[in-house]
């Protein structure tokens, strides 16, 4: 007799007819946009598809900042509704990078930790698709080990002077602001997570230098942001001084369980149905495995979204989605690549999708917490550490 | 919360009922071991009668027909408890498949132990029938000139060649000469429902077995020390267990989603066949990873008859291949995807047109 296993993932959700209506609305909108040539479906479009026009057209539909209460200019919708909309956008390969960070991470963070002034300052503009954000967590010497950040914030008259270097800040060359994790007290090796704080930093402020980090395929999404005694007024302290670690980690479930953790290459999988020997696909067991896995992750991710809606902790279940989801994203890139090359003429749109997917693939299992770190999170959830 | 955020709560099963199921199987296993490895298991009639007295062998049958009037949710708990304790009985075949079908066509159901047999089409290889040699009656479905028919046949009237699966459960070959039988007509929809139910039962059993294999792994790596510390403290070990647990969790999500949809639509949703194929694919592939990793962290002790790990790993491997191999279900999913095409693949996955 063995003890029963503690559930890692909440129970699968029941049917949700209201959400199905919303799903259909988004799908119809996307079909119209596609027909009008507003976008070309692409792989990893939540990182690389920066299109402010498309973002504003989503805002007009009421699909940005959906969970923002009406008093801050939002729509007062549920987290589950937002989940449905983002799933549809990603499955279609729509260009959503411009608002992605603001909509996914900054909205729930602001709602939880922001001051009234900050909420009124940023939320209405995020909802209208007019304010874009970046994230300033990683540093040249701090990747997975975030507590080791060296960016410092020093108390000055009326605020803080922030100095340090942030890396991998997606979209910093377009965005208006980013949230910076900085040390406000010296590192105490016995309490590594203490003394960290968050600040909202205006990317146009004096002392901010945004330098491109060009990806291996020539793409420009990432940046290095160098902060040289950048003045941040007290009004832009995010949350509480000294609570940075708690704030950062409490929001990670939103970042790790979303559909962008298993749908980054979905447009490629869909296109493969028509590109790879159409008569052979219906017998291709690897295609079956991949589609089944995406479908399974859709159910898991939905269950996590519902847990987040109920305010439950979801760090472990989010890690499950991200470990398996980002792995299958890469498997899809490989599946397509392994089956391309024999035809003398390859459609250029297909070749572009495949090469983009192959180039983006290494990032899938790194960004937002490496899979190695996330396996540690799962192991902790199982009581192993 | 906004009205659109309200979700129907999935009904939960009474805790006392689950505890009672646990207690019966735990008590049984305290006085019965898993038996010799190469033997074919028989249905333990003493245990069966005990379960019958408790109203558990026809858990989902209607009360008018002598059943307990419960649902598949309760039955899932019963099957899961049996898996956890390594107790092998034709509970699902009897209640969820054979007696359900008899009731559905308006036939009486008595106390006999039953199993289900679907006669293959002429020229097709005959599928193995679970528990045929241990059952009193075999509910047999066949295709006649004017549609499907079913008969509740006395097992002694049928030639049964005994066999068994990897864990010793009877998987027998039946030679039924149906040409002389009259039987009762069955709508093709009911036969399709029977096949869905049979496939999903095995997914539920595989998920239960995988969770047990992982729980055993967690227990083992916490208590076993090497190089001066518990195995659980090694990152390499943590990774093996974490990967296994993640696989099993997704298989469970897919299986639960299929079951919810089945119960909410009375097993009639168009989407159900795809969802069940997805569940079987996910559970089948998860079984590979969980079996491999659970045995790896257990070391050589996990490969012995004495250790109980095999009661879950071998069971998962046996069940994932029944009512369709993993390859069969992968092809079902691939065929559905190909039929949907690029533009509708996502609609297929979400089940919304």
DSSP structure string for B250-292: HHHHHHHHHHHHHHHHTT--TTHHHHHHHHHHHHHHHHHHHHH
Say which of B211, B250, B256 has its CB closest to residue A5: B211
CATH class of A135-242: mainly beta
Predicted structure pTM score = 0.95
pLDDT of residue B340: 94
The complex's ipTM works out to: 0.95
CA distance A160 to A123: 23
Token pair 């106390």 in the structure block, residue = B111
Domain extent listing, chain B: 15-186, 189-350
pLDDT of residue B292: 98
Say which of A19, A289, A324 has its CB closest to residue B250: A324
Superfamily name and number for B189-350: Butyryl-CoA Dehydrogenase, subunit A, domain 3 (1.20.140.10)
CA distance B10 to B15: 15
List the strands of the sheet with B129-130, edge to edge. Answer: B129-130, B171-175, B159-161
pLDDT of residue A1: 46
Is B218 in Cβ contact with A298 (below 8 Å)?
A: no
E strand or H helix that includes residue A178: strand A177-183
* Contact map slice: B 172-191 vs A, CB within 8 A: none
pLDDT of residue B298: 98
pLDDT category, A371, cuts 50, 70, 90? very high
pLDDT along chain B (353 residues), means of 10: 42 91 96 85 96 97 95 97 97 98 96 95 84 97 93 94 96 88 94 97 98 97 97 97 98 97 91 97 98 98 95 98 97 95 95 85
User: Is beta strand B137-144 parallel, antiparallel or unpaired with respect to B114-118?
Assistant: parallel
Mean pLDDT of A198-217: 97
* Contact map slice: A 20-49 vs B, CB within 8 A: 20, 22-24, 27
CA distance B39 to A168: 61
pLDDT category, A15, cuts 50, 70, 90? confident
CATH class of A17-131: mainly alpha
The CATH 2.40.110.10 domain(s) of chain A lie at 135-242
The CATH 1.20.140.10 domain(s) of chain A lie at 251-381
Cα separation values, B96 from B69, B87, B102, B183, B279, Å: 12, 18, 11, 20, 18
Mean pLDDT of A244-262: 87
Is A81 in Cβ contact with B5 (below 8 Å)?
A: yes
CATH of domain A251-381: 1.20.140.10
CATH topology of domain B15-186: Butyryl-Coa Dehydrogenase, subunit A; domain 1 (1.10.540)
Query: Does any CB of chain A come closer than 8 Å to the CB of residue B105?
Result: no
pLDDT of residue B226: 96
CA distance A87 to A92: 9
* Contact map slice: A 77-96 vs B, CB within 8 A: 77-81, 87-88, 91-92
Looking at the predicted structure, is the pLDDT value of residue A2 above 60? no
Least confident interval from A108-112, A282-286, B107-111: A282-286
Give A7 to chain B, closest Cα distance, Å: 8
Is A383 in Cβ contact with B222 (below 8 Å)?
A: yes
Residue ranges of E strands in chain B: 114-118, 129-130, 137-144, 147-154, 159-161, 171-175, 184-186, 225-226, 229-230
Indicate which residues of A carry an active-site annotation: 255
């Amino acid at each position: 007799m063995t003890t029963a296993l503690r559930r890692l993932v909440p129970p699968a959700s029941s049917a949700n007819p209201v959400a199905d209506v919303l799903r259909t609305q988004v799908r119809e909108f996307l079909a119209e946009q596609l027909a009008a040539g507003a976008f070309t479906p692409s792989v990893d479009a939540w990182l690389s598809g920066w299109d402010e026009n498309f973002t504003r057209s989503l805002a007009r539909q009421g699909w940005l900042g959906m969970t923002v209460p009406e008093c801050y200019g939002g729509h007062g919708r549920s987290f589950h509704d937002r989940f449905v909309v983002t799933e549809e956008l990603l499955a279609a390969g729509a260009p959503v990078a411009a608002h992605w960070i603001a909509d996914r991470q900054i909205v729930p963070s602001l709602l939880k930790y922001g001051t009234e002034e900050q909420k009124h300052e940023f939320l209405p503009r995020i909802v209208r698709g007019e304010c874009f954000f970046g994230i300033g967590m990683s540093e040249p010497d701090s990747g997975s080990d975030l507590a080791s950040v060296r960016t410092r914030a020093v108390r000055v008259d009326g605020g803080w002077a922030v100095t340090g270097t942030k890396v991998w800040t997606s979209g910093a060359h377009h965005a208006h602001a980013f949230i910076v994790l900085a040390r406000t007290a010296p590192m105490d090796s016995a309490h590594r997570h203490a003394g960290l704080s968050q600040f909202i930093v205006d990317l146009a402020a004096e002392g901010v230098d945004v330098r491109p980090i060009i990806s291996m395929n020539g793409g420009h999404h990432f940046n290095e942001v160098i902060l040289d005694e950048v003045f941040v007024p007290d009004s832009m302290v995010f949350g509480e001084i000294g609570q940075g670690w708690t704030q950062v980690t409490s929001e990670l479930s939103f970042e790790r369980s979303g559909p962008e953790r298993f749908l980054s290459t979905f447009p490629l999988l869909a296109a493969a149905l028509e590109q790879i020997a159409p008569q052979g696909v219906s017998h291709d067991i690897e295609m079956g495995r991949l589609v089944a896995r995406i479908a399974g992750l859709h159910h898991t991710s939905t269950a996590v979204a519902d847990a987040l809606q109920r305010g439950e902790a979801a760090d472990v279940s989010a890690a499950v989605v991200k470990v398996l989801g980002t792995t299958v994203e890469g498997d899809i890139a490989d599946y397509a690549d392994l089956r391309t090359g024999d035809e003398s003429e390859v459609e250029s749109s297909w070749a572009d999708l495949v090469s983009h997917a192959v180039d983006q693939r290494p990032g899938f299992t790194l960004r937002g917490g490496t899979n190695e770190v996330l396996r540690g999170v799962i192991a902790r959830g199982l009581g192993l550490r | 919360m906004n009205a659109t955020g309200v979700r129907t709560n999935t009904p939960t099963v009474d805790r006392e009922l689950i505890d009672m199921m646990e207690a019966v199987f735990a008590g049984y296993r305290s006085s019965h071991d898993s038996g010799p490895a190469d033997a074919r298991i028989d249905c333990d009639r003493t245990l069966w009668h005990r379960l019958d007295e408790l109203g558990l062998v026809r858990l989902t049958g209607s009360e008018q027909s002598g059943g307990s009037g419960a649902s598949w949710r309760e039955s899932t708990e019963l099957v899961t408890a049996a898996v956890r304790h390594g107790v092998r009985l034709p509970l699902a075949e009897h209640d969820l498949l054979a007696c359900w079908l008899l009731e559905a066509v308006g036939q009486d159901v008595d106390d006999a132990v039953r199993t289900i047999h679907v006669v293959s089409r002429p020229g097709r290889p005959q599928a193995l029938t679970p528990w045929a040699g241990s059952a009193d009656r075999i509910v047999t479905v066949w295709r006649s000139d004017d549609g499907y028919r079913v008969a509740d046949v006395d097992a002694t009237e049928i030639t049964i060649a005994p066999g068994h699966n990897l864990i010793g459960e009877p998987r027998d070959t039946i030679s039924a000469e149906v040409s002389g039988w009259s039987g009762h007509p069955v709508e093709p929809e009911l036969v399709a429902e029977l096949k869905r139910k049979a496939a999903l039962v095995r997914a539920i059993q595989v998920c239960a077995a995988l969770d047990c294999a992982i729980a055993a792994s967690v227990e083992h790596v916490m208590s076993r020390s090497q190089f001066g510390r518990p195995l659980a403290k090694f990152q390499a070990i943590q990774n093996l267990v974490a990967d296994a647990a993640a696989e099993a969790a997704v298989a469970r999500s897919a299986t639960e989603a299929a079951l919810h949809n089945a119960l909410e639509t009375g097993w009639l949703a168009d989407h159900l066949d795809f969802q069940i194929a997805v569940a079987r694919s996910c559970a089948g592939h998860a079984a590979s990873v969980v079996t491999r990793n659970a045995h790896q962290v257990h070391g050589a002790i996990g490969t012995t008859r004495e250790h109980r790990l095999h009661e879950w790993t071998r069971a998962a491997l046996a069940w994932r291949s029944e009512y369709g191999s993993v390859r069969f279900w992968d092809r079902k999913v691939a065929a559905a995807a190909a039929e949907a095409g690029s533009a509708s693949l996502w609609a297929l996955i979400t089940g919304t047109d």
